[in-house]
Amino acid sequence: QKEVEQNSGPLSVPEGAIASLNCTYSDRGSQSFFWYRQYSGKSPELIMSIYSNGDKEDGRFTAQLNKASQYVSLLIRDSQPSDSATYLCAATSGAGSYQLTFGKGTKLSVIP
């Protein structure tokens, strides 16, 4: 069974700090990785995608991928209370990478 694992949290960080969210995946064939942000009762919103080893930065967000360790992370710099949400990690699975397997999410709380 292909799995994506995340610490459920909650992860609490003070405002202005760096939040670090981690994810591991079991399928070595996974090619593409995504981070979604989901506010309570709302739909997942794609915030980052990463396809090759290394770092990818977009504003305050940095995604990191290490395929050898099967590890994906998301760093949020200068965390704001509006970043408080559940963050879902997803990885492609299946032939042709058309399906996503989602982790159960990490709940982040940014304390003012």
Partner 1 sequence: DADVTQTPRNRITKTGKRIMLECSQTKGHDRMYWYRQDPGLGLRLIYYSFDVKDINKGEISDGYSVSRQAQAKFSLSLESAIPNQTALYFCATSDWASGFNEQYFGPGTRLTVT
Which residues lie near partner 1 (CB under 8 A)? 32, 34, 36, 41-46, 49, 51, 88, 90, 92, 97-100, 102-105
Query: Nearer to partner 1 by C-beta: 85 or 105?
Result: 105
Beta bridge partners of residue 46, listed in sequence order: 36
Instruction: Count CB neighbours of 98 within 10 A.
Output: 8
User: Residue 100 CB, nearest distance to partner 1 (Å)?
Assistant: 6
84 or 92: CB nearest partner 1: 92
Which CB atom, from 71 or from 102, has the smaller least distance to partner 1? 102
Rounded least distance, CB 49 to partner 1, Å: 6
The token duo for 70 is 């099967």
Give how far the C-alpha of residue 84 lies from the chain's centroid of Cα atoms, to the nearest Å. Answer: 14
Q: Which is nearer to partner 1, 34 or 79 (CB)?
A: 34
Helix (H, G, I), strand (E, B) or coil at 17: coil
* Burial category of 20 from C-beta neighbours within 10 Å (exposed 0-12, middle 13-18, buried 19 and up): middle
Least distance (Å) between residue 46 CB and partner 1: 6
